[in-house]
Amino acid sequence: MGKVFICDHPLIQHKLTYIRDENTNTKDFRELVDEVATLMAYEITRDIPLEHVQVKTPVTTADCRIISGRMLGLIPILRAGLGMVDGILKLLPAAKVGHVGLYRDPETLQPVEYYVKLPTDVLERELIVIDPMLATGGSANAAIEVLKRRGCTQIKLMCLIAAPEGIKAVQNEHPNVDIYVAAVDDYLNDHGYIVPGLGDAGDRLFGTK
Ligand SMILES: O=P(O)(O)OC[C@H]1O[C@H](OP(=O)(O)OP(=O)(O)O)[C@H](O)[C@@H]1O
Ligand SMILES: O=c1cc[nH]c(=O)[nH]1
Ligand SMILES: [Mg+2]
């Protein structure tokens, strides 16, 4: 079963509080999501392998370590996943970005696919699927399925807030995908919104409501 890592660093939790606040405006919401994404990138890359190199300092030769050429791909689920991309790229500038466009039908809560564009070398990359919200898990599962259908095997999922129902759904359908979240909330309401959550992440990021 996929593991769940809760990124509970105080800086992440502090910023998440303001992200949840309904009085936070679009500009601040976007900036805070960007900052939390950077901090979460620090946590999600904890297991990246290093290799030894020697560098000449002005004083002597030093045994040092660098990331061992690991190729990463970021896969934001449109729209809301876009809000986390730049924050991650600040720490991982060589990552390539693929896009999976999904919206959740408001009646059925089922994901509807409308766009997929992936890097040509996606099979060689370790992939991080990004979406601020893991509610029913339908969108994350569908995005992971898009990647697996193309033969991708190394996949992690990164979200800001997850509902227990969404975690269970991903663990059931994709047991080899680890999930990184800043918080696990209480439950889903009758409209499939995470409680207490933050509302509609896409609308809050882009000011569409
Ligand atoms: O786990 P689920 O039940 O599938 O819900 C989560 C999805 O819902 C939201 O997307 P939305 O449909 O609002 O699209 P948007 O990002 O374009 O606003 C959110 O960004 C996730 O993609
Ligand atoms: O709470 C939720 C659930 C799905 N999508 C969101 O943006 N928020
Ligand atoms: Mg939305």
Render 149-183 in DSSP notation, one character per residue.
HTT---EEEEEEEE-HHHHHHHHHH-TT-EEEEEE
Q: How far apart are CA 74 and CA 85, in angstroms?
A: 7
109 lines ligand 1 (CB under 6 A): yes
Q: 104 catalytic, yes or no?
A: yes
Query: H/E element holding 83?
Result: helix 82-89
The closest-lying atom of ligand 1 relative to the alpha carbon of residue 203 is 18
The CA 139 to ligand 1 mean position distance, Å, reads 6
Q: How far apart are CA 64 and CA 194, in angstroms?
A: 45
* 75 φ/ψ angles, rounded to the nearest 5 degrees: -125, 85
Give the residue among 7, 6, 5, 30 at the shortest CA–CA distance from 19.
30
pLDDT bin (cut points 50, 70, 90) of residue 49 is confident
For 69-124, the pLDDT digits (tens) are: 778 999 999 999 999 999 999 999 999 999 999 999 999 999 999 999 999 999 99
The closest-lying atom of ligand 1 relative to the alpha carbon of residue 202 is 18
Give the residue among 70, 11, 19 at the shortest CA–CA distance from 42.
11
The one-letter code for the residue type at 132 is P
Q: What is the per-residue pLDDT for 48?
A: 87
The CA 162 to ligand 2 mean position distance, Å, reads 9
Q: Is the predicted ipTM greater than 0.95, yes or no?
A: yes
The one-letter code for the residue type at 129 is V
Give the Cβ contact number of residue 156 at 10 Å: 21
Give the pTM: 0.95
Instruction: Report cis status (omega within 30 of 0) of the bond before 196.
Output: yes
Give the Cβ contact number of residue 77 at 10 Å: 28
Give the Cβ contact number of residue 127 at 10 Å: 27
